Structure 1
C-alpha cells in the first residue's frame, strides 16, 4: 500500500478541492487511458496493481490516474515531468537534447519519468526497493505519464510552452491551444456523440481497438530489443502529430469550430487508445510472474 506521503498528499488535494473546487485538467482523458489499460492487464498484473493501490480505490486504477496532476502544487518537483518541450518548428524529438527541465537538469521530462518509474516498479518484491520507493506513487505516476506523452502538445514547442501561450477561441470560449487538446476536444465529443457519458466514449474506443485498428494494435505495445518500456517513439509520434494537426490552422487569435474539432477528434481517440494499450503492455511486462517470464 502507499506510504504516509501519498495519503497526506491526497488529503491535501481533497481539502483544496473542497475549498476551491480545483480539479485536475485532463481528468477524462487520463481516466479513459487507464480504464482501457485495465481491461488489457494479465491476471498477474491485475493482482499487483490491486495490491499497490490504496484500499479506497477498490482496485480501480483509473479512479486515481489524475492524481499526479492534482498534487503538482504539493510535489513541485514533479511539474516538469508531465511534458517534454522540443525546438520550435523542428517537429522532432531527441531524448538527449530535449529531456531536461527549465533549469537544465537532465532526465526531468515525461519520457525520463516513464523510464524512472518503470525501473522502480520492476523492483516489486525487493524489500530494499519497497523501503526506498513509494511503489503506489510510482504506479500512479507511470500510468499518468504514459497518458501525457501521448497528448501531442505534451511534446510541443518550447517557445509556446506546448501551446499554452497560443490563445484561441474554442467556438465561443476563449482558451489556449494546449487546453483544447487536454480537455475541450474530449468534452465536445462527450456532449456531441456520447450523451455526456464517458463510459460510452471508452466503449467506442475499445471497439475500435478490437475492430477498426485491429491490424495495428498488436504492434503498439512492442518495444525494440525486448525492452520493458520505450517512451521515446511515443514522444516522436506526438510531436509529429502536434505539427500536422494541433498547431495547423490554430494560430493565435483564431477561432476553432467544427472543421478543426471533427478532423482532430479521431487523432485524440486513437492517442487515448494507444496510451491504454501501451500502458497495459508495460505493466504486463513489469509484473509478469517469474514462470511466465521464463516461458517468454
Structure 2
C-alpha cells in the first residue's frame, strides 16, 4: 500500500475532484489543453524538472493537475488564493495597471493573477535549492503557475469590477459548444486543431511574437493587457446585462478562445523552459 504525505494527499484529493463528474472550474477543458500544449513544447531540462515535481500518481502528466488550484481555492488552507484567479479593472476602463488593479477585495497589493504568476515564477527559479520539504512548495508553485497562465489568457478573467456573469460563457460554454457542434465532444480532436493552427496553420507566423519576453517578471502585465483589450472588444461589446446570447456571439468568439488557449500553452512552455533551463539566464531575465 502506497503511503501519501499530507501534501501529496491534498494533491490527490484535488485530482479526485477534478475527475469527478459535474465539477465546475474555469474550463477544465481549457486548462487541460493549455497544459498539454505547454508540456509538449518543453525542452529536456524543463521536461525532467516538471516530471520530477509532479506526484507519482500524475504519471508525468502536468495537465492531470492543472485544474487543482480551482478545486482547492475554497478549502481553508488555500482560501487565500481565491483572489489570485482574476483581476478586476474599473468598469469601462479597458486597461490594466498593476499598481491600480492588482489587489484583493481588502486592498492587499499583488493579490491578483499577475502578482501570482510573478510570485510563483520567482519561487521556481530557486528549484535547485533546498530540501525535500522545499520541493513540496515547488510542486505547488508549478501547479499554481501553470493554472494562472491559463487564467490570465482567459479574457474575462481580466474584466470589469461589476461583471458577474461573463466568466461562465467564456470559461466553459464557448469551449463546450465547440466540442459539441464541431468535434463530437472529443477533446483530443479540438486540441489537435489548435496545435495545427500554431505549428503550421493560421497562427504560425505569430508564435515567435507570443514567446517574446525580455523579463519574466513583467511579461504577465502584457498578457493581462491583451485579455482586457479582448474582453472590451469581444466580451462586452454589443451585449446587455441579462441578454440571451445568440449563435453568432459564440461562433465569432470561438476562434479567440482557441487562440488564447494556444498562446497560454506556448507562453507557459517558454516560461518553464527559461526557469528550468539555464538558471543564470532565468534569474537575469526575471529581475
Pick closer, same or farther for the CA change 1:135–1:18 going to 2, 3 Å: closer
Residues 1:182 and 2:185 are matched in the alignment: no
Unaligned residue ranges in structure 2 (runs of 5+): none
Question: Given the alignment, which residue of 229, 233, 237 partners 1:244?
Answer: 233
Counterpart residue number, 1:31: 32
The separation in 1 between residues aligned to 2:206 and 2:46, in whole angstroms, is: 23
The separation in 2 between residues aligned to 1:49 and 1:272, in whole angstroms, is: 20
The separation in 1 between residues aligned to 2:280 and 2:166, in whole angstroms, is: 47
Counterpart residue number, 1:219: 209
Unaligned residue ranges in structure 1 (runs of 5+): 165-175
Counterpart residue number, 1:254: 243
Query: What SS is found at the alignment partner of 2:204?
Result: coil
The separation in 2 between residues aligned to 1:76 and 1:131, in whole angstroms, is: 21
Query: What SS is found at the alignment partner of 2:89?
Result: coil
Counterpart residue number, 2:106: 103
What are the superposed Cα offsets for residues 115-145 of structure 1, whole Å, 9 maximum, x if unpaired? 0000010001111696386111100000000
Query: What SS is found at the alignment partner of 1:85?
Result: strand
Task: Return the offset for 1:47.
Answer: 0.3
The separation in 1 between residues aligned to 2:204 and 2:178, in whole angstroms, is: 23
Task: Return the offset for 1:227.
Answer: 3.7
The separation in 1 between residues aligned to 2:19 and 2:59, in whole angstroms, is: 22
The separation in 1 between residues aligned to 2:18 and 2:208, in whole angstroms, is: 40
Pick closer, same or farther for the CA change 1:151–1:25 going to 2, 3 Å: closer
The answer to whether the Cα contact below 8 Å between 1:6 and 1:137 also exists between their aligned partners in 2 is no
Residues 1:274 and 2:274 are matched in the alignment: no
Within 5 Å, which residues of 2 pair with 1:25-64? 25-64=26-65
Pick closer, same or farther for the CA change 1:14–1:218 going to 2, 3 Å: closer
Task: Return the offset for 1:19.
Answer: 9.4
What are the superposed Cα offsets for residues 40-61 of structure 1, whole Å, 9 maximum, x if unpaired? 1101110000000000011100
Task: Return the offset for 1:25.
Answer: 3.8
The answer to whether the Cα contact below 8 Å between 2:85 and 2:157 also exists between their aligned partners in 1 is yes
Residues 1:152 and 2:155 are matched in the alignment: yes
What are the superposed Cα offsets for residues 192-212 of structure 1, whole Å, 9 maximum, x if unpaired? 111100111111000001121
Query: What SS is found at the alignment partner of 2:142?
Result: helix
Pick closer, same or farther for the CA change 1:264–1:113 going to 2, 3 Å: same
Residues 1:235 and 2:224 are matched in the alignment: yes
Number of aligned positions between the proteins: 278
**RMSD between aligned alpha carbons?**
2.5
Normalised by the size of structure 1, how large is the TM-score?
0.87
Counterpart residue number, 1:170: none
Question: Given the alignment, which residue of 195, 200, 208 partners 1:206?
Answer: 195
Residues 1:93 and 2:83 are matched in the alignment: no
Pick closer, same or farther for the CA change 1:240–1:63 going to 2, 3 Å: same
Query: What SS is found at the alignment partner of 1:156?
Result: strand
Task: Return the offset for 1:223.
Answer: 1.1
The answer to whether the Cα contact below 8 Å between 2:18 and 2:68 also exists between their aligned partners in 1 is no
